[in-house]
A and B are shown apart, each in its own frame.
Chain A
């Protein structure tokens, strides 16, 4: 996703002189390095200083530029939180905050680099939109949207690298604020977003292997959440399974359960997410997810799919 973002940002920035990227001492990946070389005035590195990264983006947006702030997910929101809240959200400025590696993507770097509660934090702020694409193709669509939208601030949570394309055969395009069906069925719906969508797709496949008719749905826009779309999913399936890489608080799973209660939905709901816990564990991304209980066989066992 990171490289796809870089490619698209370079393409868009080459034709839009207002597009800028403000980074805080993070190596510019792929095409962002090319962007820096070709458009040095529109690539700004604030150094290890995230508050000024966000503050500058606010001032630049107020004076006519369209800045993207870009660094590792934890450092986009946690260190400069009040600047995100006051400068970007309270003033409702169209600045995109690109958080690389939400969840526990930086699996060997320890808890200081895990953005496991970023969805809760970002969605809690008024005016903030929150997008977490499930594959590089969605990352491209979301980046294009962010580059021209006038709605306000966006937290764009991207995976780091290596995510497979899952949406090639999707029957509907990516649309901000709308659930996206990757496949349509009638018995079970698996709802997901972000890089963990691959695991959700594998869960869906295990249901299919049992003869179930399965929907796989990407809830790429966490805020504003497509509430009517989720109610429709709840009413049209016997079972809904949510697989996501974030803490339980203000998670998609908790929102789905709230909506189910309000809509008097009667389907079974199973939710899987990160634990509300700092887990002192190192390994690859899959191993970190497994330590939190997000692992295909573990989920399958709880869903009687083994």
Chain B
């Protein structure tokens, strides 16, 4: 077993140059619209938590993960904040890994997609929904890649709320102990847990990046809706440690009445609210 050389190289640089931020913006607008459409089929979905991490998840799937064969990647995407899965579903649909009928049957009898991702469904790496599980699983996955001399990268999306779980920090410490440079985590720092603003209810939660750094991680803080900045940060990592992108985001990003309003953690828009949301959607550049 040996550590893989995962430091950014020529191939990465070539990809970096090829990064099409405009295309990413267009995709993200499309994904938000598709999620709004699904919200009119069934009310059991988390719109705002998906909108805060849309740019992050799009970037991982469409720019960072490698797809040598359609639908097959040596890398792993793990949505630890399971309640953000709507954006994962619509991306997997666009990639052809999920069928349109899967999304049509979302949360319906006979369907295979629920409000949290389920292991065994195509494209879903782990069952999440209970917060604080993703870091441990991702650490095991990244370790397994190295132990079997494979170069798979594990991309993990965490909510800020689940960084209150002690298990997240057990995993973070272990990932750093093991020097898992093939683990890249993104914290969707929208500053809202289910009940309240993190910075008001739990001021000691901040600063977050420094906590990861103190646990032995390399990391940066970026605007989580600026795909270009996130992409550049990931490509510029030094290696030798797990890497975290603390991504400052807006919960409900793109729909004025959802932004920073806790009820949209789980509420679906009414028909009138849906029309307003669709009218408001624009391409977001940060």
Residue interface mask B156-184, A partner, CB < 8 A = 1: 00000000001100110110001000000
Instruction: Write out the residue numbers on chain B whose beta carbons fall within 8 Å of the beta carbon of A20.
Output: 147
Q: Which of A42, A47, A62, A67 lies in contact with B125, CB distance below 8 A?
A: A62
Tell me the smallest distance from the CB of A14 to a CB of chain B, in Å. Answer: 16
Q: CB of B1 within 8 A of chain A?
A: yes
Q: How many angstroms between the C-alpha atoms of A62 and B140 in the bound complex?
A: 9
Q: A25 to B73, alpha carbons, bound, how many Å?
A: 35
Residue contact A56 to B147, C-beta cutoff 8 Å: no
Interface size on B, residues (CB 8 A): 31
Check A59–B127 contact: CB distance below 8 A. no
* A90, B133: Cα distance in complex, Å: 13
Q: With a CB–CB cut-off of 8 A, which chain A residues contact B148?
A: 63-65
B40 near A: Cβ within 8 Å? no
Q: What's the Cα separation between A91 and B119 when bound, in Å?
A: 6
Interface residues on chain A, number (Cβ under 8 Å): 28
Specify the chain B residue showing the minimal Cβ separation from A82.
B130
Nearest-CB residue, chain A, relative to B132: A51
Query: In the complex, which residue of chain A has the Cβ closest to the Cβ of B147?
Result: A41
Question: A55 near B152 (CB under 8 angstroms)?
Answer: no
User: B126 touches which one: A49, A56, A60, A91 (CB < 8 A)?
Assistant: A91
Alpha-carbon distance A61/B139, docked complex (angstroms)? 12
Query: Which residues of chain A have a CB within 8 Å of any CB of chain B?
Result: 20, 41-42, 44, 46-47, 49, 51-52, 54-65, 67, 82-83, 86-87, 90-91
Q: Which residues of B are interface residues toward A (Cβ below 8 A)? A: 1, 76, 119-120, 125-127, 130, 132-133, 135-145, 147-148, 152, 166-167, 170-171, 173-174, 178
User: What are 26 A-B pairs with beta-carbon distances under 8 A?
Assistant: A20-B147, A42-B147, A46-B174, A49-B170, A51-B166, A51-B171, A52-B135, A52-B136, A52-B170, A55-B139, A55-B140, A55-B171, A56-B174, A59-B139, A59-B141, A59-B142, A59-B143, A60-B140, A60-B147, A62-B125, A62-B140, A64-B148, A87-B136, A90-B119, A90-B127, A91-B119
